[in-house]
Chain A
């Protein structure tokens, strides 16, 4: 029972402070599941990989997965998924109720807009920390790992510099993960 309460509180917290969408939420999820011992670093990175190739928001995917593996029951998944949505429900519904008052009052408000602007920079830091925390010997086992890392990073950043459509097909995350998987199978089996 205590486990269920802890899971609820953790994912409620992730939903409440998860600013900036899926990737920014990763660092929060990582911190919570690791500190509570619900998932190993490897399990975490594997589920992020699975999230990239399956449909749906990454936060829901992680919540559902942790809920099941931590409790061994479907109800664990129902609980964690509800917990991550609950803060959104409370906050977004409050916003909806005062929407017209809000949009008049906050549009052009310096305090509101500057805080949002600064938050974008914090979110960049959060995502960077999620990536940095995953650079560990368990995930980067040999020099080949770094070659894969470099190649994927290169093809993902490429569309920012090349305008041509043909070069951008390779930047699709699903394709890159599949290729990395094939490379891994071929090299390490």
Chain B
């Protein structure tokens, strides 16, 4: 089981570009459709849990599936398989990059790449905000209320960017604030 999980995740880890989310459809095809290790419903539950829990989504999913299928051995195989390809590739790059960086051609290329990276980080925000707000209701007042939590996004961004606040505190504040608001709301309406 160790080698099977290792091989499956190694393959997925080697051939997915673009991080954890890009891995999910490939994991589904391998683990659900081809191997039939878990069914579709459990896979969807797994994604929900892997996203709700902290940490990298690809690693979280490897831990869950590894455990369900092969216990401790499965976890070790799946996690090693998921991590090893990027570990080896980045290590190789890190070893030569410090020298390559000095080359005028590489430096010129990166001058063009840097603003592109900022755009690539910022651009998905649009889609994320749309899906976080959810489907617009026919009632226009409801629509406004759904978008209200975007103020939280704004506050979080400003606190970290201008205030230099560590993101850890912003995350903890969100949890504490939401839970206490719900608790107060329950007390009042009761």
Query: Which A residues contact B (CB, under 8 angstroms)?
Result: 13, 15-23, 25-28, 31, 42, 45-46, 48-61, 64-65, 68-69, 74, 77, 81, 84-85, 87-89, 91-93, 95-96, 99, 103, 110-111, 114-135, 139-141, 145-146, 148-150, 152-153, 156-157, 160, 173-174, 176-177, 180-185, 187-189
Contacts and interface: CB of A to CB of B under 8 A. Distances in A.
B154 A125 contact: yes
Given A121-B152, A148-B112, A54 B89 contact: yes
A133 B163 CA distance: 11
Interface of B: 13-21, 23, 45, 49-60, 63-64, 67-68, 75, 79, 82-83, 85-87, 89-91, 93-95, 97-98, 101, 104-105, 107-130, 132, 149-150, 152-161, 166-168, 170-172, 174-175, 177-179, 182-183
Contact of B64 (A15, A85, A96, A118): A96
Given A65-B94, A181-B113, A153 B119 contact: yes
**Would you call the interface of chain B mostly helix, strand, loop, or mixed?**
helix
10 contacts: A17-B167, A21-B56, A52-B120, A92-B67, A115-B179, A122-B156, A128-B153, A131-B122, A148-B119, A153-B123
Interface of A is mostly: helix
Contacts of A27: 160, 167
A48 B172 CA distance: 26
A17 B175 CA distance: 12
A79 B98 CA distance: 21
Given A64-B91, A156-B119, 8 more contacts: A21-B20, A21-B21, A53-B17, A55-B14, A57-B19, A77-B91, A140-B114, A141-B111
A111 B152 CA distance: 18
Nearest to A29: B167
A129 to B, nearest CB: 4
Contacts of B89: 54-56
B156 A48 contact: no
A81 B79 CA distance: 11
B153 A176 contact: no
B77 to A, nearest CB: 14
Contact of A31 (B67, B124, B166, B172): B166
B121 A184 contact: no
A23 B113 contact: no
A157 B126 contact: yes
Contact of A189 (B13, B53, B105): B105
A76 B100 CA distance: 21
B132 A52 contact: no
A60 B58 CA distance: 10
Given A68-B91, A77-B94, A127 B124 contact: yes
Contact of A153 (B60, B113, B122): B122
